[in-house]
Amino acid sequence: MTRHIDHLIIHSSASRAKQNFTSTDIDRWHRANGWFGCGYHFVIPRDGNLESHDLGDRCRPLSKVGAHVGDCGAGWNKRSLGICLIGGLDEEGKAEDNYTEAQYECLDSLLSYLLLEYPDSAVMGHRDLIKLTKAPPKDCPCFDVRKWCKEKGIN
């Protein structure tokens, strides 16, 4: 069964720039929460190398519903793909756009590919979906996704 995807949601791991986590770490954290492994379909570590289930990493398969925007209400995980950038916090634990150039290059390439596969999809940050659904506020992914996409000519 093919899922209908109409949203590509960008997230932050809410970690500091010096913490170089991967999908394996996120998988462990999410399992500790009682979830079925990593809730994101893609993870982009600090080095900018894409992690996905298809590449053998501990990410959610594209065919499976993610676990990344449950706070926004029923149905959103079913219709979206979750992309997590590692980083997003400064040394004091406050939101900060501290992603590497390599991460942004990877995100740009990934979104270009995904928009070919899912051409009717909207690209947004988790915080944008939160505003839309009136869920409790978060800074995730700690940068303005819509502004960045506009600058890149995406969506």
Give me the active site residues, please: 11, 40, 126, 138, 140
Q: 30: alpha, beta or left, given left = phi > 0 and alpha = psi -120 to 50?
A: alpha
The whole-angstrom separation of Cα 7 and Cα 22 is 23
- Which residues, including other chains, have CB under 8 Å from residue 23's CB and lie 6 or more apart? 38, 40, 43, 51, 57, 58, 59
Q: Cα–Cα–Cα angle for 53, 26, 141, nearest 5°? A: 100
